[in-house]
Copies of this chain bind each other. A is one copy, B any other.
């Protein structure tokens, strides 16, 4: 693509964008505001307004307790099955559980408990810190000494693939990585890394929080064992909406949930006194689920399915390439560095720009320039592109305002 730095180019690209109509399906009331933080909190789908009104006033207010039998009890499986279609899994392999960190705790714990007597968990220093904290907690709880090896990225941007290959060995129980990492948007080759894990007899657990809804994945092709991921970023499920869990079917009944609650109990309404896990994925559930926050996930998933992950990815790549082109034209001369991979295949849907004065610039953008990025220490200005609603004009305008900030 031959990009140009004039405003007409952005207009032309938007005119050619076959996903442009999806933008109309989101609440965007302030046309001057450019929101590039959909990778932290996705925008509100218009359909969610109607749904939440129905959830509160009709399903809770009118149907009351009967709503549990009329859909709430199966809601986590129903939305999970839709997410499965986004990530190349079967419907009974994905379920909405608790927060990403709690889901990760459950799966990491059981992976480590299963893969005895191996004593090592391998991850990298690009992983989301909460994932590292969870792994540290799992290590503390394990019945045997467990060591967490945090492989450093060579440059703070790219995943340390070669060093991971060296670290993963016969003593490795679990490898836990972010599919797309939160700072640089580096995106692992899921198939290749999963193969590394399996070659060593280790279990592979992916955190897809920053890829779900923007970077396609095919968990079956990758032969991934487990995955988790949040639904409030590119899925647009609302603040803190609960996360999904994926457990490949052949693993489901061989692994155990450490937090054994009644939502995972076989014949739960028999109220037996002894825990007996429901077969399949459901025994990874625990307590009564927060229905309002879970229901809000579905409209965003429906929009992703309607748009199609391939088209979303194509647009996202084009838009991050365009952003990087404008960086080179306008911002590199001003001292901004590119803190994301240049290779599109290894890049997710946000671009991080570094600047020694990054914290001030990010603040100026928010308070004076009506651009909402986010900022990650020490110097990362993250610009998130949500291909469902981010326009080329958004990117053109935002980069122009950054130039002036």
Interface residues of A (CB under 8 A from B): 27, 29-30, 35, 37, 40-41, 43-44, 48-49, 52-53, 56-57, 59-62, 64-68, 72, 98-102, 105, 125, 128-130, 132-134, 136-137, 140-141, 143, 150, 230, 232, 238-243, 257-263, 265, 269-275, 286-294, 296, 366, 372, 374, 376-377
Contacts and interface: CB of A to CB of B under 8 A. Distances in A.
A57 B27 contact: yes
Contacts of A56: 44, 48-49, 52, 238, 296
B64 A291 contact: no
B238 A102 contact: no
25 contacts: A35-B64, A41-B60, A41-B65, A43-B64, A65-B372, A68-B239, A102-B259, A105-B259, A129-B272, A130-B263, A133-B262, A133-B265, A134-B259, A136-B260, A137-B259, A140-B258, A150-B273, A239-B290, A240-B289, A240-B292, A241-B290, A242-B290, A243-B287, A290-B290, A290-B294
A242 B44 CA distance: 22
Nearest to A230: B288
Given A44-B61, A68-B239, A102 B37 contact: no
Contacts of A27: 57, 61-62
Nearest to A182: B271
Identify the 10 closest CB pairs spanning chains A and B, nearest first.
Answer: A99-B287, A290-B293, A101-B287, A130-B262, A101-B261, A239-B291, A137-B260, A44-B61, A133-B275, A293-B293
A291 B240 contact: yes
Contacts of A275: 132-133, 136-137
Given A101-B261, A261-B130, A271-B377, A239 B286 contact: no
A273 to B, nearest CB: 6
Contact of A141 (B66, B141, B243): B141
A179 to B, nearest CB: 18
Contacts of A30: 62
Nearest to A26: B61
Interface centre among A101, A287, A376 (most CB of B within 10 A): A287
A204 to B, nearest CB: 21
A272 B67 CA distance: 43
Given A65-B374, A136-B274, A141-B258, 5 more contacts: A41-B64, A43-B61, A128-B262, A140-B258, A150-B273
A129 B288 contact: no
Contact of A101 (B37, B242, B286, B372): B286
A38 to B, nearest CB: 9
A295 to B, nearest CB: 9
A133 B291 contact: no
Nearest to A39: B65
Contact of A64 (B37, B68, B141, B377): B37
A62 B258 contact: no
A153 B272 CA distance: 15
Contact of A288 (B35, B100, B290): B100
A161 to B, nearest CB: 19
Contact of A286 (B40, B99, B150): B99
Contacts of A288: 99-101, 230, 232, 239-240
Contacts of A128: 262
A261 B137 CA distance: 9
Find the residue from A59, A271, A294 having the highest chain B CB count within 10 A. Answer: A271
A17 to B, nearest CB: 23
A159 to B, nearest CB: 16
